[in-house]
C-alpha cells in the first residue's frame, strides 16, 4: 500500500476514528477499525527474548544474553546475529514489533536496569544497538529502541526529574540513540517515564527538535507502558501511540473536545494517525492482518548462538598462576567444590526483560557434563540469598479441600464474590490482575505445619492489606505500598511477622487486599490503580536462620579446587528498583562465603553473575575471577566452556569496576534529592561518566577498567599508523599478534583525545573497535576507521558539533587504562550540523 493510499485511508476516517488509533486496544495490541480496513498489530517485550503476552510463566521463549553481556563481546557480528534470532522469536509470539534494545547508559553501578543496557560508553552502546536493530529488522520485525531519554535509574522513575546539560545529553545520553537511528533506522522509539529538565519525556521538545528535527527520523514514537502524562502536550510534542490500552489519556471524547475547543489542532491528530498507519504498512499489517497464536519454537541454531554469545561475553578478570582453564585432563581424579549459585541459572535480570526460558542450564549441570565421571563434584549453597520469603504452596488446603488457597474476587461493595478460584498460590500477582475487572482479593487456606517452631510470615500488598490467623489480625498494612515498582518486580522490605506454630495443628489463614488509591507523591503507574496485588511469604525460623556457611567451608577444605558462584538473582537486580548495595546480597552473606572458602582452599575461583560492577573485598584472596554477566538460557554451558578451556575467554568489560562506590562519577547525585516533595537527580558529572571520570583519578581507584579482559593466550600490538582517509575520516592500522600458544580473540580498542588535555573535556574517548581472532603465532594488520564527528564536542551556544584545531592522540588500548601504542595527528578545525 503506497503513501497515497494511506492518505486516502486517513481521509475516510472520522476524527473519532483517528483519535482511537492513537492508543492501544489492550496490553499488547493496537486498535483495529475493520470497517475501514485498518488491521491490528501486536508487540512483544524484549530485549532478552520475545516473551509474548504473559508476564509470568506462560509459553516459553528463547532467553538471550543480556545487553551487558552482548556489549562485552565487543563484537558487532554477534550483536547482529542476536538481533536476527530475536526477530525470529518475535514472530513465534504473533508479534511484529519487539520492544528492544535498551540503549540507556550505565551512569552508576547501582542502576537497577544497567544489565538491560549495553555500556557506560555511548559509542560502544550505539554501535552494538545499531547492529541488534539491523538484525531484528532484517527479519521484517520492527525494533523499538528505548527509553528516550536520560533514564539511568529506577528509583521513582515515573516522576524523577533529570537535570542534565545540553552537552551531556548530546555527547552521552542521546549519542547511542543517534547512532542507532542514523545507522539502522529503527521502526519505533519508546519514550521514558522520567522528566528531562522539567518536562516529561512523552511531551518533551526533544521529540520534535532532535528526533524528528535534527535527525530527520520518521518512525513511530510510542510511550512506555503507562508512561503518558498529558493529553494535549504529548500529542503536540510528537508522541504517536499511547501504550497500553485501554487509554488513560486519549479518551476519544476528551481529545475531540480539545480539538473543538482549539486546544489541539486537527492537523496534529492527522499527523499522529498517519504515523500509526505508516507503521502498520511498514510491518505489512495491511497485507496480512492476522495475529497468529503464540508458540514455543526452540530452535537448535538459537541454542548454539546463545551458548556462543554467552561465552564470548564472559570476561576473565584474574587468573593467577594460570589456574584456569580447568581442563578435564588437569582435574582427572580430583575433587572440585561448586558453591553458591552453582545449581542456579542466573540467565537474566528481573522485570520486563525476563522471559520464561525454553530451558536453563546451571553451571553444576554443565560442568558435570563437561568433566565427566573422572572428576568428583560436590555442592553446597553456603550463603542465604533469598530476597523474599517463599510463597506458601505446601501443606495448605483451600475451602474445597484441594491443595492451595481459595482465591475469591470481589467487586467493591458486593458481599458475594464474582469469581472463585481454588488451588491458588499465596499471591495475587498484579501482572495477572491487569486482565481482570477492578476488584478486591481474598485468599483463604488452612495451613498445617510439619514442625513445631516459630514461623516467619511476610505480607505485602499494593493497596491496604490484612493477614488473619484463626480470625485474629496478625498484621495490617494500612496504606498503599510505598515502593510500587519494587512490589511489582523485585520485592519490598516488609516486617517479619513471627508466629509460634505447632506441628500437626491446622491454622486458618486469610489474606484480604483492596486496590490502591492515588496518593500525591506516590510512584504508581495509573493503569495499575484499582487493581489488587498481594503476596504472603512463609518460612520456618529453623530454615530461615540456619547457618549454611560451615557446610561449604568443609567441602572447600577437602577439595582440590573450589569454585564459588556469586551474583544477583532477578529479585536483586531488576527493573523497578536500583541496587540496595554495592556489595553482593544478602547482607554480606556472599562476601563471607568467598572469604571463608578462600581461607580454606588456596585454589579458589569466583564466577560472578551480575549486570553491574560490585564490591570485591576478597579480590586479593582468590586465584581467579570470571565475570559472566547474565548469559541467557545456556548460562551454565557458556561458563563451563570458558572454565574448562573449550572456549578461550575474549570478553572485555563494558563498564568500569571501581573499588569503592564512593569513587563512581555519579556518587552523591544518585538517585537524587527531594525538592519541594519531588525527586530531582542532577547529572552534575556532565560528560564525565564511566572511564571519562576515572581517567581523572588515580589508577588505584579502579579494580578493573573499562575494556579490560584477559585471555588464555597473549597478544601484542605494533606498527600503529594513522592517516586521513577523507576530510571527515581517519584510517587506523595496527598489527596484532597472538604471542601465546592457543587460538584466541581480542578487541582492538582505539581511543582518541586532545594531546593537550583540558579540564572541560575528557582525556580520551573510544572512537573505534574491532574484534580479531588469531591462531597462535599468527599476526594480522587490522584496519579501523575513526570518524571525526565521533570525537567532536557539542557546542551548546552554536548548537553544533565542534572539533578544535590541534594535535590529537590516537591510542591503541588493551583497555581504557593500558594504552600500548600512541601517535599524534594534527587535525584542522571542524564543525558538523546536529
What pLDDT, on the 0 to 100 scale, is given for residue 437? 56
pLDDT of residue 402: 95
Question: Same CATH fold, 303-384+548-647 and 3-282?
Answer: no
Count of C-beta atoms within a 10 Å radius of residue 256: 18
Cα atoms in the Cβ-side hemisphere of radius 13 Å centred on 340 = 29
Helix pair 266-282, 3-12: axis angle to 10 deg: 130
pLDDT digits (tens, 9 = 90+) for 199-224: 999 999 999 999 999 999 999 999 99
pLDDT at res. 490: 66
Give yes or no for residue 434 having a pLDDT over 60. no
Give 227's pLDDT tier (boundaries 50, 70, 90): very high
CA terminus-to-terminus distance, the chain: 33
Q: Does residue 499 have a cis peptide bond before it, meaning omega lies within 30 degrees of 0?
A: no
User: What is the average pLDDT value for the chain, to the nearest integer?
Assistant: 95
615 has pLDDT over 70: yes
Phi, psi of 458 (to 5 degrees): -130, 140
Closest residue by Cα to residue 634 from 309, 355, 297: 309
410 or 503, higher pLDDT: 503
Cα distance between residue 777 and residue 775, in whole Å: 6
Tell me the fold of 3-282: TIM Barrel (3.20.20)
| Average pLDDT score over residue span 270-281 | 98
CATH number for 396-544: choose from 2.60.120.260, 2.60.40.290, 3.40.50.850, 3.30.1360.120: 2.60.120.260
Whose cell is 495451613? That residue is: 447
Helix, strand, coil percent content, the chain, rounded in steps of 5: 25, 30, 45
Query: Which pLDDT band, with edges at 50, 70 and 90, does 494 fall under?
Result: confident
State phi, psi for 675 to the nearest 5 degrees: -125, 115
Contact criterion met (CB below 8 Å) for 309 and 70: yes
565-566-572 Cα angle (round to 5): 140
Edge-to-edge strand ranges of the sheet holding 678-682: 199-200, 195-196, 161-163, 678-682, 673-675
Q: What cell was used for 71?
A: 556489549
Contact 268, 31 (CB under 8 A): no
Please state at what angle helix 76-92 crosses helix 122-138, rounded to 10 degrees.
40
Average pLDDT over residues 244-273: 96
Q: From CA 249, how far away is CA 242, in angstroms rounded?
A: 8
Q: What is the reported pLDDT for 435?
A: 44
Q: If DSSP states are collapsed to H, E and C, what string results for 244-290?
A: CCCCCCCCHHHHHHHHHCCCCCHHHHHHHHHHHHHHHHHCCCCCCCC
Q: What are phi and psi of 275, to 5 degrees?
A: -60, -45
Q: Distance between CA atoms of 168 and 761, rounded to whole angstroms?
A: 11
Buried b (16+ CB within 10 A) or exposed e, 813-834: bbbbbeeebeeebebeebeeee
Integer Cα distance of 418 and 437 in angstroms: 10
For 353-404, write each residue's pLDDT tens digit: 889 999 999 999 999 999 999 999 999 999 999 999 999 988 999 999 999 9
Q: What's the pLDDT score for residue 215? A: 98
User: What is the per-residue pLDDT across 321-351, written as a single tens digit (0 to 9) for each?
Assistant: 999 999 999 999 999 999 999 999 999 999 8
Whether residue 249 has a cis bond before it, omega within 30° of 0: no
State phi, psi for 342 to the nearest 5 degrees: -60, -30
Closest CA to 768 of 79, 73, 78, 123: 123
Query: What grid cell was written down for 783?
Result: 584496519
Q: Decide: 238 and 211 in contact? Cβ < 8 Å.
A: yes
Please state, in angstroms and rounded to a whole number, the distance separating the CA atoms of residues 768 and 811: 10
Structural class in CATH, domain 303-384+548-647: alpha beta
CATH architecture of 715-832: Sandwich (2.60)
Torsion region of 351: left, alpha or beta (phi above 0 gives left; psi -120 to 50 gives alpha): left
Domain ranges of the chain: 3-282, 303-384+548-647, 396-544, 715-832
Q: Which residue has the higher pLDDT, 587 or 481?
A: 587
**Annotation says 224 is catalytic:** yes
**pLDDT at position 53:** 87
* Strand order, beta sheet including 315-319: 315-319, 624-627, 604-609, 561-567, 335-340, 376-380
744-754 and 806-813 strand pairing = antiparallel
User: 512-543: per-residue pLDDT in tens?
Assistant: 999 888 777 676 777 677 778 899 999 999 99
Q: Which of 422, 433, 540 is nearest to 487 (CA)?
A: 433
Tell me the pLDDT band of 1, cut-offs 50, 70 and 90: very low
Residue found under cell 593467577: 320
Say what the pTM is.
Answer: 0.96
Please name the residues in contact with 425: beta carbons below 8 A apart, sequence gap of 6 or more: 391, 392, 393, 404, 405
* HEC assignment per residue over 338-351: EEEHHHCCCCCCEC
Backbone φ, ψ for residue 327 (5° rounding): -70, 160
- pLDDT confidence of residue 391: 94
Selecting among 134, 163, 202, 224, the annotated active-site residue is 224
Q: Of 46-60, 723-737, 756-770, which gets the smallest average pLDDT?
A: 46-60
pLDDT band for 486, please (50, 70, 90 cuts). Answer: confident
Q: For residue 438, what pLDDT is reported?
A: 62
Name the residue among 806, 827, 761, 764 with its Cα closest to residue 167: 761
pLDDT digits (tens, 9 = 90+) for 86-133: 999 999 999 999 999 999 999 999 999 999 999 999 999 999 999 999
Q: CA-CA distance, 511 to 404, in Å (whole number)?
A: 13
Amino acid at each position: 500500500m503506497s503513501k497515497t493510499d494511506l492518505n486516502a485511508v486517513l481521509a475516510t476516517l472520522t476524527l473519532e476514528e483517528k483519535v482511537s488509533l492513537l492508543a492501544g486496544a489492550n496490553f499488547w495490541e493496537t486498535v483495529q477499525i475493520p470497517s475501514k480496513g485498518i488491521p491490528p498489530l501486536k508487540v512483544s517485550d524484549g530485549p532478552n527474548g520475545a516473551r509474548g503476552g504473559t508476564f509470568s510463566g506462560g509459553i516459553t521463549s528463547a532467553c538471550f544474553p543480556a545487553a551487558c553481556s552482548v556489549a562485552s563481546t565487543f563484537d558487532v557480528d554477534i550483536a547482529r546475529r542476536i538481533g536476527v534470532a530475536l526477530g525470529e522469536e518475535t514472530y513465534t509470539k504473533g508479534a511484529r514489533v519487539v520492544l528492544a534494545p535498551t540503549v540507556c547508559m550505565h551512569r552508576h553501578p547501582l542502576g537497577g536496569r544497567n544489565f538491560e543496557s549495553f555500556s557506560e560508553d555511548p559509542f560502544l552502546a550505539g554501535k552494538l544497538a545499531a547492529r541488534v536493530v539491523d538484525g531484528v529488522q532484517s527479519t521484517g520485525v520492527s525494533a523499538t529502541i528505548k527509553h528516550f531519554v536520560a533514564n539511568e535509574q529506577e528509583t521513582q522513575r515515573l516522576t524523577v526529574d533529570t537535570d542534565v546539560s545540553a552537552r551531556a545529553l548530546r555527547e552521552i545520553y542521546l549519542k547511542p540513540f543517534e547512532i542507532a537511528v542514523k545507522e539502522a533506522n529503527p521502526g519505533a522509539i519508546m519514550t521514558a517515564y522520567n522528566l528531562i529538565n522539567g518536562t516529561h519525556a512523552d511531551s518533551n521538545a526533544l521529540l520534535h527538535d532532535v528526533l524528528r528535527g535534527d535527525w530527520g527520523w520518521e518512525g513511530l514514537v510510542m510511550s512506555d507502558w503507562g508512561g503518558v502524562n498529558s493529553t494535549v502536550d504529548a500529542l503536540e510534542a510528537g508522541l504517536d501511540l499511547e501504550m497500553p490500552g485501554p487509554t488513560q489519556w486519549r479518551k476519544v471524547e476528551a481529545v475531540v473536545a480539545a480539538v473543538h475547543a482549539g486546544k489541539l489542532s486537527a492537523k496534529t491528530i492527522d499527523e499522529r494517525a498517519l504515523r500509526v498507519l505508516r507503521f502498520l504498512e511498514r510491518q505489512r499489517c495491511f497485507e496480512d492482518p492476522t495475529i497468529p497464536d503464540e508458540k514455543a519454537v526452540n530452535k537448535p541454531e538459537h541454542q548454539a548462538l546463545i551458548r556462543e554469545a554467552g561465552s564470548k561475553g564472559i570476561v576473565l578478570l584474574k587468573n593467577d598462576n594460570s589456574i584456569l582453564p580447568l581442563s578435564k585432563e588437569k582435574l582427572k581424579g580430583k575433587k572440585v567444590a561448586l558453591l553458591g549459585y552453582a545449581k542456579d541459572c542466573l540467565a537474566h535480570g528481573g522485570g520486563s526483560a525476563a522471559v520464561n526460558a525454553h530451558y536453563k542450564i546451571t553451571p553444576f549441570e554443565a560442568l558435570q557434563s563437561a568433566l565427566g565421571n573422572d572428576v568428583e563434584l560436590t555442592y553446597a549453597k553456603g550463603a542465604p540469598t533469598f530476597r523474599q520469603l517463599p510463597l506458601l504452596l505446601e501443606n495448605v488446603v483451600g475451602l474445597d479441600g484441594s491443595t492451595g488457597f481459595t482465591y475469591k474476587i470481589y467487586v467493591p461493595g458486593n458481599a458475594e464474590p464474582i469469581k472463585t478460584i481454588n488451588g491458588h498460590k499465596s499471591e495475587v500477582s498484579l501482572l495477572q490482575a491487569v486482565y481482570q475487572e477492578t476488584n478486591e482479593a481474598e485468599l483463604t487456606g488452612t495451613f498445617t505445619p510439619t514442625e513445631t517452631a516459630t514461623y516467619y510470615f511476610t505480607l505485602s500488598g499494593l493497596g491496604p492489606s490484612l493477614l488473619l490467623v484463626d480470625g485474629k489480625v496478625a498484621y495490617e498494612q494500612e496504606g498503599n505500598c510505598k515502593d510500587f515498582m519494587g512490589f511489582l518486580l523485585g520485592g519490598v522490605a516488609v516486617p517479619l511477622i513471627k508466629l509460634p506454630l505447632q506441628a500437626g495443628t491446622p491454622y486458618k489463614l486469610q489474606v484480604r487486599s483492596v486496590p490502591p488509591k492515588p496518593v500525591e507523591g506516590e510512584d504508581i503507574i495509573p493503569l495499575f490503580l484499582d487493581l489488587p496485588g498481594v503476596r504472603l511469604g512463609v518460612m520456618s525460623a529453623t530454615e530461615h536462620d540456619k547457618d549454611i556457611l560451615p557446610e561449604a567451608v568443609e567441602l572447600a577444605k577437602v577439595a582440590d579446587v573450589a569454585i564459588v558462584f556469586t551474583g544477583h538473582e532477578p529479585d536483586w537486580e531488576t527493573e523497578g528498583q536500583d541496587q540496595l548495595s554495592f556489595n553482593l546480597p544478602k547482607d554480606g552473606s556472599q562476601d563471607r562465603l568467598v572469604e571463608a572458602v578462600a581461607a580454606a582452599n588456596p585454589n579458589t575461583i569466583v564466577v560472578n553473575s551480575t549486570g553491574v560492577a560490585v564490591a570485591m573485598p576478597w579480590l586479593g584472596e582468590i586465584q581467579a575471577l570470571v565475570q559472566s554477566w547474565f548469559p541467557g538460557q545456556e548460562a551454565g554451558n557458556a561458563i563451563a566452556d570458558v572454565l574448562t578451556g573449550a572456549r578461550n575467554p575474549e570478553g572485555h568489560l563494558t563498564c568500569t569496576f571501581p573499588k569503592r562506590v564512593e569513587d563512581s562519577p555519579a556518587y552523591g547525585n544518585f538517585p537524587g534529592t527531594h525538592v519541594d516533595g519531588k525527586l530531582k537527580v542532577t547529572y552534575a558529572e556532565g560528560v564525565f561518566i564511566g572511564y571519562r571520570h576515572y581517567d581523572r583519578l588515580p589508577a588505584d581507584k579502579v579494580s578493573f577498567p573499562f575494556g579490560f579482559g584477559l585471555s588464555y593466550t597473549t597478544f601484542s600490538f605494533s606498527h600503529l599508523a594513522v592517516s586521513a582517509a577523507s576530510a571527515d575520516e581517519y584510517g587506523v592500522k595496527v598489527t596484532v599478534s597472538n604471542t601465546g600458544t592457543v587460538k584466541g580473540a581480542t578487541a582492538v580498542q582505539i581511543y582518541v583525545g586532545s594531546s593537550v588535555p583540558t579540564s572541560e573535556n575528557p582525556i580520551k574517548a573510544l572512537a573505534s573497535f574491532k574484534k580479531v581472532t588469531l591462531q597462535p603465532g599468527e599476526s594480522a594488520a587490522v584496519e579501523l576507521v575513526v570518524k571525526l564527528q565521533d570525537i567532536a564536542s557539542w557546542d551548546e551556544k552554536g548548537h553544533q558539533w565542534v572539533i578544535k584545531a590541534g594535535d590529537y592522540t590516537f591510542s591503541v588500548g588493551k583497555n581504557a587504562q593500558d594504552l600500548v601504542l600512541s601517535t599524534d595527528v594534527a587535525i584542522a578545525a571542524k564543525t558538523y550540523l546536529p
